[in-house]
Amino acid sequence: MKSALTAGLACIALAGCYAYRPLASVETAMPAAGTPVQVRLTTAGATALASQVGPDILYLQGDIVSADPDGLTLAVTRAETARRIGVEWKGEQVTLPRGDIASVEQRRLALGPTVLIGGLTGGGVVAAYALFGTGGSSSGIVVPPSTGHQ
């Protein structure tokens, strides 16, 4: 039972749900390097940066490389259009001028959904173990069924 409980708790730990939460104003917020963020570009910014990020790209996701009063440098992992059609990136760095940034959201653990999904998953593992646990034993000897003839 101890191993089933451990497996159930591991499920809770692995079932992390994440969401993007708004940061303070772009002008005042200086996210630390390594912070996972989603940046929404202004319409003018999307047009100005189209040669670097692709046409019609409005959202960029990735980790902050550096931030200063002039802009953010982002190691991009995903770019999305206004209709949320995405393209995966491999960490290429893009510098975004502050005037081209509409908003910045930080990726954070969503505690409620994580606990709910992890609890359901972990509870399912514990319940399955309780129902189908390894309470039986086997000697390894196969006994053929009796046919009624002797």
75-129 pLDDT tens trace: 999 999 999 999 999 999 999 999 999 999 997 765 555 445 555 555 666 666 6
Residues 52-73, mean pLDDT to the nearest whole number: 94
Mapping DSSP to helix (H, G, I), strand (E, B) and coil, where does residue 137 land?
A: coil
The predicted pLDDT at position 13 comes to 58
Whole-number Å distance between alpha carbons of 62 and 121: 29
Whole-number Å distance between alpha carbons of 14 and 114: 9
Q: Are 117 and 60 in contact (CB under 8 A)?
A: no
CA-closest candidate to residue 120, choices 5, 8, 4, 7: 8
CA-closest candidate to residue 20, choices 84, 91, 73: 84
Q: pLDDT band at residue 73, thresholds of 50, 70 and 90?
A: very high
Question: Which of residues 22 and 59 earns the better pLDDT score?
Answer: 59
Question: Which of residues 79 and 4 earns the better pLDDT score?
Answer: 79
The dotted CATH code for 18-108 is 2.30.30.100
Q: Are 79 and 87 in contact (CB under 8 A)?
A: yes
The predicted pLDDT at position 15 comes to 57
The predicted pLDDT at position 79 comes to 98
- Determine what percent of the chain is predicted with pLDDT higher than 70: 53
